[in-house]
Structure 1
Amino acid sequence: MKLAGLKSVENAHEESVWAATWIPATDNRPSLLVTGSLDETVKLWKSDELDLDRTNTGHCLGVVSVAAHPSGYIAASASLDSFVRIFEVDSNSTIATLEAPPSEVWQMRFNPEGTMLAVAGGGSASIKIWDTSTWKLAATLSIPRPEGPKPTDKTASKKFVLSVAWSVDGRRLACGSMDGTISVFDVARAKFLHHLEGHFMPVRSLVYSPVEPRLLFSASDDAHVHMYDVEGKTLIGAMSGHSSWVLSVDASPDGAAVATGSSDRTVRLWDLNMRTAVQTMTNHSDQVWGVAFRPPGAGVRSGRLASVSDDKSISLYDYS
């Protein structure tokens, strides 16, 4: 497996680019790359050319997360203004605006069926789940406080929720916190199941394997990438190679690799059989906040990976 650099767009945004994801192809158009920036805009890019398709405005502070509905028709952007904007991809019309208290919106993801949107709830130490048919709040999943003496404000702040991920079967939801713990929930019963341990610094990004519902990957400020068997509650692999915080992780559609972005300015490709980094890309000149593999489908033959950075650029790679 390998990555080959295809194209980079310098000054893709006017400020740091903190978020990227792919909007799946529909019958009417190919997939699009969507990016969010501290310049308060969301931009949509043509899949293989990285030509700017359009720019969305509407947030009044930086955009920290973007998410795409599996249908390809709807997307969401979350901002430091504590609003989530839901919009139609092709018309750019706003469908709904979801409000949360200040700093309560970080990473967000649609479930595989597209019926729910999970939003990492920051300092509320919870995940909020929104029903996508009504855009009403359906559930709040609170992270249990550690047992023992009454938690102080200091320990409470460590439960600040940064990241969220759905299992491929939609049954489990995982979230990563500032203190390094990963919490796992049974979504149908809205029930906390257990913590996954091993990190001791913020877990900024999580992704489940697209082919194995039990397998979860995490990226942490401790410079490690972990593989967990979620159901067995076990750490089955710890991969090291980055020299600083790992800010983002995504799994390849074939389930054979993960890619990571780091504050060491590199993108790395990891072979999951060997559990080692097989390639390091140095396109960026600043922290890499997001990596995203393009989903397969609609005649897409070759794999693509995108990365975004504090250097305001986007890079596109061929994955084979």
Structure 2
Amino acid sequence: MSLVKRPRTAESSALTTAPSSATAQSEVVQLHGHEDAVLAVEFSSTGTRIASCSADKSICLWSASDHSNYGLLKGHKGAVLDVKWTRDENSIISASSDLTVATWDAYTGQRIRKHLGHEDMVNCLDVVRRGPQIFVSGSDDGTIGIWDPRQKEAVSYFETEYPVLAVAVDSMGSTVYSSGVDPKIHAWDSRNTSSPLYSLTGHGDGLVTSIKVSPDDQQLASNGTDNTVRTWDIRSFTTNESRKLKILDGSIAGVEQSLLRLAWSSDGKRLAAGSSDRTAVIWDVFTRNIIHKLPGHLGSVNDVAFSPTDDNVFVSASSDRSLILGPLR
């Protein structure tokens, strides 16, 4: 379960330690290292490192500054469907079709813990950004797990009627959001697993494949197979009737089985989503206008991320087995 150093090639190089700083991106680069579709990608909290996961059962670690593929984490027995950094950057959390969640040491590559409890593939994760050190997971078994990374078993579960495709949690861990085969988005009090606080509808009969809480905790963004990205007012005093905010058009869900995901910029002014037409789409949230439609991939774009320290640095992950990293021009 150790970090595997990639051989130095024209496409990737190996580092014995992770980089300690990042420089401004001056070029767009395509990163190769996975052997199957890349399903999720995330910057570390300082923007210096990137983790990506793949249907090839692995997690790749990348330097955001020199683009090196400095490590490969192996241990899952199925596709790795989602990956997250802890906020201190010391650990990486992964979700897999092998029914498990794993916590990894981000420096040694050792798997610290295998988290057991889900009874079907684990599709998605989210990590509390400022509150207690917990993370949440969603599974095809219809449950949402609340986890302390120091424990093998979940602290608690929310029971739903359908497979869970996406989860999100606010910055303090007080409210958890879920979506899935049921086209509704549900909001849950993390301390009360009995029933949702409220539910949001708007994506028609389609699936909701991704949800993300805005950096200021005031909005939720959702991506659906109805080919829309939607924003919702999730402030506590808002009535359910007035939670719908904006509809953003321009991304295409397609027919692939990958969960197309979205991301907020750190200032909350832009949203990005992957699209099955091989592009990444970026909107101005206020005007709803598309400001970038980024080409370059040869397959569906499954996930996207803005650097948390520079919203003009962007990465996309694709079914073509690659990442594209660089500045937004």
**TM-score using structure 2 length:** 0.83
Matching of residue 119 in structure 1 with residue 122 in structure 2: no
Which residue of the other structure, out of 291, 315, 318, is the alignment partner of 2:324? 315
Instruction: Say whether the 8 Å CA contact 2:85–2:91 is kept in structure 1.
Output: yes
**Cα distance in 2 between the residues matched to 1:319 and 1:188:** 40
Moved more, 180-189 or 67-76: 180-189
Matching of residue 31 in structure 1 with residue 41 in structure 2: no
Residue identity in the other structure for 1:179: D
**Cα distance in 1 between the residues matched to 2:27 and 2:124:** 27
Instruction: Say whether the 8 Å CA contact 1:63–1:79 is kept in structure 2.
Output: yes
**Cα distance in 2 between the residues matched to 1:310 and 1:114:** 34
**Cα distance in 1 between the residues matched to 2:63 and 2:281:** 24
Residue identity in the other structure for 1:222: D
Q: How many residues align?
A: 293
Residue identity in the other structure for 2:272: A
Output aligned runs, 1:140-155, within 5 Å: 140-143=157-160
Mark the CA change 1:217 to 1:318 in structure 2 (over 3 Å): closer, same or farther. same
Output aligned runs, 1:263-274, within 5 Å: 263-274=276-287
Residue 302 (structure 1) shift: 6.2
Residue 319 (structure 1) shift: 4.3
Identity of aligned residues (%): 24
Instruction: Say whether the 8 Å CA contact 2:96–2:121 is kept in structure 1.
Output: no
Which residue of the other structure, out of 19, 29, 33, is the alignment partner of 1:12? 33
* Higher RCO (C-alpha 8 Å, min separation 6): 1
Match of 2:11? none
Match of 1:147? none
Q: Gaps (5+ residues) in structure 1? A: 144-155
Matching of residue 281 in structure 1 with residue 327 in structure 2: no
Instruction: Say whether the 8 Å CA contact 1:31–1:46 is kept in structure 2.
Output: yes
Matching of residue 193 in structure 1 with residue 197 in structure 2: yes
Matching of residue 53 in structure 1 with residue 74 in structure 2: no
Which residue of the other structure, out of 6, 17, 22, is the alignment partner of 2:43? 22
Match of 1:203? 208
Output aligned runs, 1:162-173, within 5 Å: 162-173=165-176
Structure 1 or 2: more strand by fraction:
1
Match of 2:155? 138
Instruction: Say whether the 8 Å CA contact 1:68–1:109 is kept in structure 2.
Output: no
Match of 2:81? 64
Residue identity in the other structure for 2:263: D
Partner SS for 2:197: strand
Match of 1:221? 225
**TM-score using structure 1 length:** 0.86
Partner SS for 2:115: strand
Partner SS for 1:290: strand
Instruction: Say whether the 8 Å CA contact 2:136–2:167 is kept in structure 1.
Output: yes
Instruction: Say whether the 8 Å CA contact 2:278–2:298 is kept in structure 1.
Output: yes
Match of 2:271? 258
Mark the CA change 1:102 to 1:134 in structure 2 (over 3 Å): closer, same or farther. closer
List per-residue Cα deviations over 1:6-30 (Å, max 9, x = no partner).
33325431111111112224xxxx7
Residue identity in the other structure for 2:250: G
Mark the CA change 1:310 to 1:114 in structure 2 (over 3 Å): closer, same or farther. farther
**Cα distance in 2 between the residues matched to 1:177 and 1:37:** 21
